[in-house]
Structure 1
Amino acid sequence: MKRWMLLFLIVVSLVLPQASSAAEQQCFEQTGFCTDGRFLEYWRQNGGLEVFGYPLSTIEIVYNQDSQMHFLTQQFERARFELHPEFAAPYDMLLGRLGDDLLRYRNIDSAMLPREAGAKAGCLWFETTGHNVCNQANGLGFMSYWQNHGLNDPKLDAFGRSLQLFGYPLTEPAIETNANGDSVLTQHFERARFEWHPNQSDQFKVLLGLVGKESQQLVYGESSSLSELTLVNNTLFFTADDGVHGRELWKSDGTEAGTSLVKDLKVGAEWSGIYELAAVNQGVIFAVNKQDKDYQLWFSDGTEAGTRLIKSFGPNAKINNLKTLGNGSIFWVNDAVHGIEPWYSNGTETGTYLLSDINPGLADSAVYNNYGSYWVDYAPIAGGMAFFAQNIQIGNQIWWTDGSIANTRQVSRLDKSGGMLELEALDEQHLIATSYQNTTMGVWNITLATGEQQLLASYLIIATTRNPAPVVQLTQAGGMVYYLSKTQNGTITLWQTNGQASQTIQPNLQGYKAENLLAANDQLYVKLISSHGIQAGWWYFDSSKGLTQLTPLPLRIQASNNGLLGWESIAGGLRFYSSNGPNQALRYRSSVMGKQTSFPDTANDRFFAIPSFQYGTELWYNDGSTLRMVKDIHP
């Protein structure tokens, strides 16, 4: 650590003299800050007080979120200066995109705003962003101001100098309320905001907004740590932290007034221990970890009085994999008597019971992977649930239950030395499963009623990769089960089966390679890449018509009641798309701008946990045409 700090100080010392040790320094009593060196020189050469305003900070090392690097930085009323000594002057000083930053704070995605039809007479037309810049009076206005100010670089023409200083226009002119509370005609640029003040003298009819001051005063929201979004009829249950009660159980009907804390299980600001939810019987069952002293199962109907303990399982129970089944939930737990086994609960103490001690005694029937944990792959079928479990005598097999002890039974009779990975229902009578043994993996058709099994295809296991499974993403759509197969050389191919070995084949993907699969409204969607590794977006596919492109964008898509939802992750935000029906085009709806690192958590096609600059991660609602925030739970 000491060596790293020494190196850091040496680097800083090489840069700082250019800004802070110069002989001349100019201080401003209006704000109490000074500037000097290259910062002062750039300020004077490119517009001074009129363009940049007074300094609002010292010259200091600041982390840039966009580039994820540190730079010597100084904030001014109308700009942010960043020193880049690796570039030659005048580009050793770069201006922050404060005009765009302020738009993004308001969740305005400028790149997706409507474009103007084209050039207007007497105006400057910017094809890149689709906006005109015009004057508001004879010879006066935004166009004249833009043309008469620019970066001091004699190598550029007048247009280039202005473009370097202000950037492209991002919006059309519109009436907005500025920082002083005045309603003025405003147009946003990448690095500035132009304001029209018709009652001022000609020299001051166009003023630059105080974008530096405003960006410095922005308040970035606290995240409410939303998790476990679970929809029950029209009520969403989830966990959230409002900054007062810790992370507790909440509910929402999609309105601010209808979003509230259900119960404070652990009084105070600490986490209550809730970590998994499942929809059951007009409410939710959820697991609670009492700081590893006791694992508990609870039920809530959405009222404080109706939120109650079902059963305590002890300190090593580790309740997991809650999944709705009928009027209750299947789950896995170690009750210290039977090991990790499948249980069922309808939300009452008497209705909570062990389904079967599949691996008798203290041994677990949960299937373990190579990383010290276990997984469960459920497949709803025939009014019940198929799942994997292991027994020391019969190995890893497929089981089925309808939630009763009497109807919990073994289905498959595969070789006991093998292992199971994925499970998918082909129809109400047949399951498609992958099972590995030695160096190969088989794809099997299992008849639910009789356990009859047929090997459909086999593939060599990829021993050189972290995930050696050569078959992944079993996906049912249109009476077929599709999957991706990976070969030793990394090639990924799409396969389909109708449950017959002779009909387990590779569909024609027209030279593309499959990357991801999704089933929605009984239709298969495939995310493709070209043979050169270039993203080709999403396509829908069926065995008779082949491929049809849905969107060229590499979205994360999910099913909705009427069609599809799509999410595009961009620098500093998410773009939301939706379609009006199956296989119809995905249309851009709106954006939420924030420090986005992953796609939003979701319960269905209506509720989402989305981060934004202004509010942090909060609950948002899809009303069919746009997104709106439900409530700022953690103000």
Structure 2
Amino acid sequence: MKRWMLLFLVVVSLALPQASSAAEQQCFEQTGFCIEGRFLQYWQKNGGLQVFGYPLGIAQDVYNQDSQQSFLTQQFERARFELHPEFAAPYDVLIGRLGDDLLRYRNIDSSMLPLETGSKAGCLWFETTGHNVCNQANGIGFMSYWQNHGLNDPKLDNFGRSLQLFGYPLTEPAMETNANGDRVLTQHFERARFEWHPNQPDQFKVLLGLVGKESQKLVYGEGSNPSHLTQLDSRVFFTANDGVHGQELWVSDGSNQGTRLVKDISPTGSANPYKLTAAAGQLFFVVSAGNSEQLWVTNGTEAGTTMVYSLSRPAADEPAIVDLAPVASGVIVMGYTTEFGIEPWFSNGSNAGTALIRDINPGAAGSEIKVSTCCSYYFATEFTPMGSSLAFMAKTGNAGNQIWLSDGTTQNTRQISTFEQNNELVTELERLNNDQIIAAVQQPDMVQIVKIELATGKHSQLTSHGRFHVGTRLIVSAYDLTNVAGKVYYSVSNSDQRTNLWQIEAKTGTSANQVDLAGYQIKRLITNPIYSQMYQQLRNSDGSEAGVWAWDGTNLQQRSSLDFQQLAYNGQHLFGLIGTNSPYRLYANAATNQNLGYIGSGMHHLGNSPSFAQVNRFSSNQGIFLALPDLAHGLELWYSDGNTLRMVKDIRP
């Protein structure tokens, strides 16, 4: 009998993990790491090897992205332990959301997945996440495993114990390939992944995925940081860093193979092109070159990317090229020279075709309007297309700030306003029709809305809105002049901190009237100058968000209740991006008369650099190009057609 007992003990010892024990410590030859102290107690009391697996490293301080703090952390094959001494046991040890982390790494936003309609017979229903957990065969499966394992806390019932250990289900069961290459039925939970292995003995038919081991191997992409997205025909031009050439100019037609570096302008570093401007079938941009700024042009090919003209800076921290704006045959450049200061130039993309248009403010002073703020300044250029020409603001010698019109030629560049000398700063311009332009004229105590006749320069006041102080800041009360289908709309802020919508009729152009928005306030106008549809982001009367609404000139119709951080309308779809942190979620409507629906998400790995979470503005054609992050690739170029979302190319693998 003793012999058989001895044999039994030997067999059992072979099946157990090879471990050595000391006081408050257990070490494992299988991985070469130990568990000790509070982590060891938690590991032993709540499932041990079957639930958590072997330790994969030592306990050390690790930064937690969600709380943005560091905690003593130890990684296991199936879990990650965090020590939180601020909580009473057993909650002083918290298990990381590795199940959700691995979904996020695959760019799956679990909270946006389709929900089940309700409970299924014989299953465990989780209304919180909208998923069932069921057994797979003969009382064995995910449900029974979830129910029979839990946190060792006598104050909780069985459900509460299991919930603390595994968390809620995040997905429905589906066939997936696990880390070992096996195709198995899988269901994801907040802190675990359940796998069904029907060919194993009953006690091993449900196995926990090695989420800790897999998460330890994740590589987070650095990203190419696509910036300055600018549409030209069906292509988008942008700057990006592929890790080899620095931040240079790229172009994409929306396909992987059609996304490429245009030219390595600065082989020894980064050219960092900026002020990308599409005009006359070409892309113009600016490159800084020490004490000068260079105007460049490209047709999208390396050979067709050339430096056009160079202008010297007035000082080390001052721009030589203030702004670019397209006209029919090229660009107007607000550029600096010692002789003339900052004045309008024209370029058709060649050195010979680049020249000063006119010295509007005679002498070296320049015609730029430089507006000082509390801490800095900005240039009030405000280019507004008027047919084949541009209207813009300029300091005009003794005449003060006036509005000018130019098609890029000297003979067709002229002053079109007749404001009194040394008076107004024109803060905004908007085309009313081919013969008239609307201007918001800033006075010390009011903003005047005026109509200007291009032929004669005659201007007439349509209305005015009083200015007011918020603290020491004097508010510009009327802004965002926007022409939609022959009507000019604009926002007006009042001293009671309410923002209303006003409208100017194009047919008469004789007055401005407040639009009745049924008690809502304006937050933002979303328009596209090519199309007649207008959307509005609104607030309720108490200042809370009221979502996005369509406006047909008479009626409001809500398209989404969400508060979007970015919105873009391309004539076919309205796109909305929500989120100031991970995840970013993209929504769109299938047509202008439909509500916005969820399209996809982008996940961001903050680490210690939350500033990296900036998402670029939209650039649209049939759909939109946008710079969006995911964990595996970092910030890269993406595209949406309004129905799907996909990464165009991993530019920096």
Fold equivalence (TM over 0.5)? yes
- Alpha-carbon deviation of 1:571? 4.5
- Alpha-carbon deviation of 1:335? 2.4
The match for 2:144 is 144
The match for 1:511 is 519
The match for 2:596 is 586
The match for 1:611 is 629
Between 1:142-151 and 1:500-509, the stretch displaced more is 500-509
> Equivalent residue of 1:363, what SS?
coil
2:320 and 2:36 map into 1 onto residues whose CA distance is: 61
Between 1:589-598 and 1:242-251, the stretch displaced more is 589-598
Aligned partner (choices 541, 554, 567) of residue 563 of structure 2: 554
The match for 2:6 is none
Amino acid at match of 1:453: H
- Alpha-carbon deviation of 1:244? 0.8
Q: Deviations over 1:508-552 (max 9, x none)?
A: 22222221111243122221122233211011224433x221111
1:170–1:189 CA contact under 8 A, matched in 2: yes
- Alpha-carbon deviation of 1:246? 1.0
Amino acid at match of 1:406: Q
The match for 1:245 is 245
- Alpha-carbon deviation of 1:569? 1.7
1:322 and 1:118 map into 2 onto residues whose CA distance is: 57
The match for 1:283 is 282
The match for 2:544 is 534
1:583 and 1:336 map into 2 onto residues whose CA distance is: 54
> Equivalent residue of 1:44, what SS?
helix
2:251–2:260 CA contact under 8 A, matched in 1: yes
- Alpha-carbon deviation of 1:396? 1.5
The match for 1:435 is 441
Pick closer, same or farther for the CA change 1:531–1:42 going to 2, 3 Å.
farther
The match for 2:8 is none
2:81–2:94 CA contact under 8 A, matched in 1: yes
1:70 and 1:318 map into 2 onto residues whose CA distance is: 46
> Equivalent residue of 2:470, what SS?
coil
Amino acid at match of 1:578: A
Query: Within 5 A, what are the aligned runs for 1:76-95?
Result: 76-95=76-95
1:306 and 1:323 map into 2 onto residues whose CA distance is: 21
Query: Within 5 A, what are the aligned runs for 1:10-49?
Result: 24-49=24-49
Pick closer, same or farther for the CA change 1:467–1:559 going to 2, 3 Å.
farther
Aligned partner (choices 493, 498, 509) of residue 500 of structure 2: 493
The match for 1:9 is none
Pick closer, same or farther for the CA change 1:194–1:174 going to 2, 3 Å.
same
- Alpha-carbon deviation of 1:601? 2.9
Aligned partner (choices 474, 494, 502) of residue 481 of structure 2: 474
1:295 and 1:113 map into 2 onto residues whose CA distance is: 49
- Alpha-carbon deviation of 1:502? 6.8
The match for 2:432 is 426
- Alpha-carbon deviation of 1:624? 4.1
Amino acid at match of 2:515: P
The match for 2:336 is 334
Pick closer, same or farther for the CA change 1:557–1:602 going to 2, 3 Å.
closer
Between 1:462-471 and 1:610-619, the stretch displaced more is 462-471
The match for 1:402 is 407
The match for 1:312 is 310
Between 1:502-511 and 1:619-628, the stretch displaced more is 502-511
Between 1:146-155 and 1:371-380, the stretch displaced more is 371-380
The match for 1:5 is none
Amino acid at match of 1:382: G
Q: Does 1:630 align with 2:648?
A: yes
Query: Within 5 A, what are the aligned runs for 1:151-162?
Result: 151-162=151-162
> Equivalent residue of 1:600, what SS?
coil
Q: Does 1:373 align with 2:384?
A: no
Amino acid at match of 1:475: T
Query: Within 5 A, what are the aligned runs for 1:93-112?
Result: 93-112=93-112
Amino acid at match of 1:176: E
1:280–1:347 CA contact under 8 A, matched in 2: no
1:103 and 1:459 map into 2 onto residues whose CA distance is: 52
Pick closer, same or farther for the CA change 1:488–1:624 going to 2, 3 Å.
closer
2:324–2:331 CA contact under 8 A, matched in 1: yes
Q: Deviations over 1:469-517 (max 9, x none)?
A: 1122222223222222222342222222226687422222222222111
The match for 1:17 is none
> Equivalent residue of 1:116, what SS?
coil
Aligned partner (choices 575, 588, 591) of residue 565 of structure 1: 575
Pick closer, same or farther for the CA change 1:160–1:467 going to 2, 3 Å.
farther
Aligned partner (choices 464, 468, 476) of residue 462 of structure 1: 468
Pick closer, same or farther for the CA change 1:345–1:375 going to 2, 3 Å.
same
Q: Does 1:210 align with 2:220?
A: no
2:551 and 2:89 map into 1 onto residues whose CA distance is: 55
> Equivalent residue of 2:107, what SS?
coil
Aligned partner (choices 451, 456, 459) of residue 453 of structure 1: 459
> Equivalent residue of 1:369, what SS?
strand
> Equivalent residue of 2:146, what SS?
helix
Amino acid at match of 1:616: G
1:83 and 1:456 map into 2 onto residues whose CA distance is: 67
**TM-score, normalised relative to structure 2:** 0.89
Between 1:237-246 and 1:455-464, the stretch displaced more is 455-464
Two-structure CA RMSD over aligned residues (Å): 2.0
Query: Within 5 A, what are the aligned runs for 1:221-300?
Result: 221-268=221-268, 270-290=269-289, 292-300=290-298
**TM-score, normalised relative to structure 1:** 0.92
2:280–2:327 CA contact under 8 A, matched in 1: no
Q: Deviations over 1:306-338 (max 9, x none)?
A: 111211222445223222221311221102221
- Alpha-carbon deviation of 1:616? 0.9
Pick closer, same or farther for the CA change 1:281–1:380 going to 2, 3 Å.
closer
Query: Within 5 A, what are the aligned runs for 1:349-368?
Result: 349-368=351-370
1:227 and 1:571 map into 2 onto residues whose CA distance is: 18
List runs of 5+ in structure 1 lacking aligned partners.
1-21
- Alpha-carbon deviation of 1:273? 4.0
Q: Deviations over 1:201-250 (max 9, x none)?
A: 21111111111121121111112121222222122222111111111122
1:30 and 1:601 map into 2 onto residues whose CA distance is: 50
- Alpha-carbon deviation of 1:339? 0.9
Amino acid at match of 1:334: Y
List runs of 5+ in structure 2 lacking aligned partners.
1-21, 606-611
> Equivalent residue of 1:601, what SS?
coil
- Alpha-carbon deviation of 1:196? 0.9
Q: Does 1:387 align with 2:387?
A: no
Which structure: larger Rg?
A: 2
- Alpha-carbon deviation of 1:570? 6.3
1:462 and 1:63 map into 2 onto residues whose CA distance is: 46
- Alpha-carbon deviation of 1:626? 0.8
Identity %: 53
Between 1:570-579 and 1:532-541, the stretch displaced more is 570-579
1:213 and 1:378 map into 2 onto residues whose CA distance is: 56
Amino acid at match of 2:536: V
Q: Deviations over 1:337-377 (max 9, x none)?
A: 21111222111112212222111221121111212231321
